[in-house]
Amino acid sequence: MDAAEFRRRGREMVDYVADYLENIEQRPVYPDLEPGYLRSLIPTEAPVEPENYEDIIKDVERVIMPGVTHWHSPYFFAYFPAASSYPAMLADMLCGAIGCIGFSWAHSSVERAALIGGVMMRKVPTDNKYAVGGDMLKKMVEEDKAAGLIPFYFCATLGTTPSCAFDHITELGPICNKEDMWMHIDAAYAGSAFICPEFRPLLNGIEFADSFNFNPHKWLLVNFDCSAMWVKKRTDIIGAFKMEPLYLKHENQESGLVTDYRHWQIPLGRRFRSLKLWFVFRMYGLQGLQAHVRKQVALAKEFESLVRADKRFEICAEVIMGLVCFRLKGSNELNQNLLKKITKSREIHLVPCQLSGRFVLRFAICARTTESRHIQQAWRHITQLTFELLQEPNH
């Protein structure tokens, strides 16, 4: 979908939404369908090739709307209000377009979970490729057990934030299973790339995991927020979070046909995020999404080749996906000063990481619209600022 079609479809969608809300009281406020009705109406896999937008919109009425509880109907008197207004919907559209993720700090979700849970956390040292291997985990587990501690959870990563390293889950998984430790695999960024067969071997060992998540809002053309998580045994999650207040009971909850997501999480409700995935999967098709991932990997490889061709720079980690970790040969201070100049210029934006005690610059291919010319221009800008930096008296 290009900008011209987006303009046209956007106007159509605004008309559809306005018609929906103007005539909402004519729809039954509560669906009269059996749980699981969708299974026979939608395919089990995403299409290989893109589908027509008209077919998707037709399916909204054919497939989606019959199963919807219409919270904005004037006949909806349940729970409490779920606020809605035309100005808010317009702002939400703009918010999605800007796509600015509101943070200026590293997230450290695992560390925070340990603090909330009141448990000790230990970081497992990595190998020379910044990946965690089985020998080190086994050693630390044995140390903890000897100290009277009970190792119960391990978080492996496929595509780490600093260097996009891949932990050796074929080694880690059997250890976790043997020790009865929950192994979670965080593939927040790189998980989207596993739709490409050439990256699928990086998933070897996934059968040992108890849970796995990735974020389509990072690399699968779905705007923030949208995270997907799988668990091997749903009863482990539901057993921890299940609460049954009277006002949330319903006739299908014990049937086994309904997946009630309030038992899967701390918040009670959630947005209809799957609708974004449904539209994107159908409009791009598997081939279109694969092409997007492969294009960005190729752009990262292009930038890597530019860095390697300049003897003043060095590559600091293997380039597997769309991230290049590089630095000027020299001190951490030199690279810190280069990043300051890059940031002050406001032409391109990079953030750093630390690898083996060294200050390293991260160059991540992020935008859907990034092309080779942007890579070339970014490199010219970096080398120009490098030249200026090295001409300064203190360097």
Q: What is the mean pLDDT of each run of 10 residues along the chain (395 residues)?
A: 93 96 95 87 92 94 93 90 90 90 74 88 93 96 96 95 95 96 96 96 95 94 91 82 63 58 71 91 96 97 98 97 97 97 95 95 95 97 95 82
**Per-residue pLDDT, 393:** 84
Domain boundaries, the chain: 37-67, 107-273
DSSP secondary structure code for residue 167 in this structure: -
Rg (CA), the chain: 25
**Per-residue pLDDT, 255:** 53
**Stated pTM of the model:** 0.89
* Long-range contacts of residues 103-112, Cβ cutoff 8 Å, at least 24 apart: 106/161, 110/155, 110/186
Six token digits for residue 337? 């000063």
Q: Locate tokens 């990256």: which residue? A: 199
Angle separating helix axes 134-146 and 169-178, nearest 10 degrees: 30
Specify burial of residue 85 (Cβ count, 10 A radius: 0-12, 13-18, 19+): exposed
**Per-residue pLDDT, 116:** 85
Q: Measuring CA to CA, which residue among 326, 290, 336 is closest to residue 305?
A: 326
Q: 3-state class of 280 per DSSP?
A: helix
**Per-residue pLDDT, 139:** 96
**Per-residue pLDDT, 100:** 84
For domain 107-273, which CATH number applies: 1.20.120.10, 3.40.640.10, 3.40.50.2000, 3.30.70.260? Answer: 3.40.640.10
Q: Measuring CA to CA, which residue among 216, 218, 217, 226 is closest to residue 273?
A: 226
Alpha-carbon gap, residue 138 to 175, rounded angstroms: 7
**Per-residue pLDDT, 106:** 76
**Per-residue pLDDT, 247:** 54
Q: 3-state class of 354 per DSSP?
A: strand
**Per-residue pLDDT, 107:** 66
DSSP string for 54-103: HHHHHHIIIIIGGG---TTSTT--SSS-----HHHHHHHHHHHHH-----
**Per-residue pLDDT, 318:** 96
DSSP secondary structure code for residue 124 in this structure: P
User: Is the distance from CB of 168 to CB of 130 less than 8 angstroms?
Assistant: no
Q: Locate tokens 């990043």: which residue? A: 339
